[in-house]
Amino acid sequence: MSNVVVRRNGGESPQVPTEGQQIQWVHWDPFRQMAPYLTGEEQLARLTPDFEIKETKDGFVFKADVPGIKEKDLEITMTGNRLSISGKREAEKEESSDSYYARECSYGSFTRVFTLPEGTDGNENIRAELTQGVLTLHLPKRPELQPKRIEVKVGDKAKS
């Protein structure tokens, strides 16, 4: 096996796989690994919020880390079974007297589109909240597709 360098945690702490260890290419993000080499305008395109999506018995919950993005700069649309989330975070105005020693914040715009399974109630029942830099969307399932408990009734015993 060749000595391929594996980077985790956004490029920090390089590790060389040991004998028999497999490299997981599914989690490899070449753009994130290039981020330390980008300067100036190229960094503006890096804004990509991380999402957490889970299914509950009542519907789906989407959470996205969107620090510094204002409510007016977010747009959420639903077309059929496609959920689109867009937003932007503008960079602060630079003064000519400013000296930057590090620029690690992401700026720019993003769009994420998710195809939802059939049965998602995408009409007026979607709720969106923005709290402390976390966008939370609640998408309920249609009532006819939610699990229902069926009560079992005990019949009278037959008299002999």
What amino acid is encoded at 117 in this protein? Answer: P
pLDDT of residue 3: 40
Total length of the chain: 160
Alpha helices in the chain (DSSP H): 30-34
How do the domains of the chain map onto residue ranges? 1-37, 39-92+101-145
- Alpha carbon 93 to its chain centroid, in Å, reads 28
Q: How far apart are CA 58 and CA 64, in angstroms?
A: 20
Listed range (15-29, 92-106, 135-149) with the worst mean pLDDT = 15-29
Instruction: Please write the tens of the pLDDT for every residue from 104-122.
Output: 778 888 999 998 888 787 7
- Alpha carbon 157 to its chain centroid, in Å, reads 56
Given the candidates 2.60.40.790, 2.60.120.20, 2.60.40.420, 3.20.20.70, the CATH classification of the domain at 39-92+101-145 is 2.60.40.790
Q: How would you class 120 by CB atoms within 10 Å of its CB: exposed for 0-12, middle for 13-18, buried for 19 or more?
A: buried
Residues 74-81: what's their mean pLDDT? 89
- Percentage with pLDDT > 70 across the chain: 66
Q: How far apart are CA 72 and CA 26, in angstroms?
A: 35
